Amino acid sequence: MAHINGYVVAAGEKKKASQPSWNWVLINATGESKALDVDKYAVMHRVQIHARDLRIIDPNLSYPSTILGRERAIVLNLEHIKAIITSDEVLLRDPAHENVIPIVKELERRLPVGNQAHHGQGDGKESSAAHNDADDGEEDESPFEFRALEVFLEAICSFLAARTTELETAAYPTLDELTSKISSGNLDRVRKLKSATTRLTARVQKVRDELVHLLDDDDDMADLYLSRKLSCACSMASSPNCYLTSPTIGSKISRASVATVRGDENDVEQLEMLLEAYFIQIDSTLNKLTTLREYVQDTDDYISIQMDNRRNELIQLEVVLGSGTVCSAFYSLVAGIFGMNIPYTWNDNHGYMFKWVCIVTGAICVFSLVFIMSYARFKGLMGS
């Protein structure tokens, strides 16, 4: 047997220790954090999950947003948040990531229960008040895994909402500018915004779909009650030492046992209320993105109408120019007829013929031009 990072690994697993290590931060129920640099087999042994579950949080693999409940752990993959939650500790990947650092601080602050009582060093009245507040908080205490899950859900919902706000701030002025001035630069910026909106909508939709999946399946929600399952297992074993394997959660398991006796062990109302709160928030973010996409589509339609109008104007100009060319062709015809070096009798002593030919040709040109313009305007008004 060999000891790695405080836990035991069998001798047959020494070869597995040579696998590439992952950076983790471990946060326990007291809010203390510790950096870990272990391979995936050590993590599997610590939290007792299978390799297929660990692949969900592998950064080299692309998996959609997922929240999986296992016998003794919750495997969570939400965008940059890749974590494993047990009944008394949290393992979080890539603690040095810029978006993960605030989550670690929030976990350290919110996971401990009654920390005012532990850290209160004032006079007796302040300590007594803090102790009473801690006792009141413990009466309404949620299981450890739910407090950790709430921190992660709050972080991802706030992250996506912030990205949506940034996109809205950049998109609406750019779209309004495009409607007032159509240029290649504005069109390129709108194209990039449209692509960014589509990508962000897909990311938000994945998180929303995962919450909907959990809310629609009571069995999946029941799998997330780690403390309840642990207390039930200990009650069935009827072993007085079953709590000694995790002394930091002994009091919590006792409360979970009482809750199990008082209510149905399949009751998921507490988790359902938690998930519904963040479902409403992520659904609101999705609605904002949907509104933005509709605004982009409306702007696109408006630009298409403007371009069609410009195209129609160019077509009308082309008709006018074509009509002028036809009129000029009549005069060219007259000049060509009288300019030919061909003898004919009516050309002798009949100079007035040139005037009449010019008058008739001019009248035909004017009539042709008026007719073509009227026809083109009529067809344009009819939308044909």
CATH architecture of 20-99: Beta Barrel (2.40)
Is the pLDDT assigned to residue 149 strictly greater than 90? Answer: yes
Is the pLDDT assigned to residue 144 strictly greater than 80? Answer: yes
What is the reported pLDDT for 77?
A: 92
The model's pLDDT over 304-336, given as tens digits with 9 standing for 90+, comes to 888 888 888 888 778 777 777 777 776 677 667
Q: State the angle between helix axes of 144-180 and 184-215 in degrees (0 to 180), rounded to the nearest 10.
A: 150
Q: Where exactly are the structural domains of the chain?
A: 20-99, 311-342+349-379
- Of 294 and 246, the one with more pLDDT: 294
**Across all residues in the chain, what is the average pLDDT?**
76
CB 118, CB 104: distance < 8 Å:
no
> What would the 3-class secondary structure string for 51-120 be?
HHHHHHHCCCCCCCCEEEECCCCEEEEECCEEEEECCCEEEEECCCCCCCHHHHHHHHHHCCCCHHHHHC
Instruction: Please provide residue 348's backbone torsions phi and psi, each rounded to the nearest 5 degrees.
Output: -85, 130
> What is the mean predicted confidence (pLDDT) over 345-373?
69
What is the reported pLDDT for 323?
A: 72
pTM of the model: 0.71
Highest averaged pLDDT of the listed ranges 22-26, 255-259, 287-291, 355-359? 287-291
Of 58-67, 114-123, 224-233, least confident by mean pLDDT is: 114-123
The model's pLDDT over 198-221, given as tens digits with 9 standing for 90+, comes to 999 999 999 999 999 999 988 889
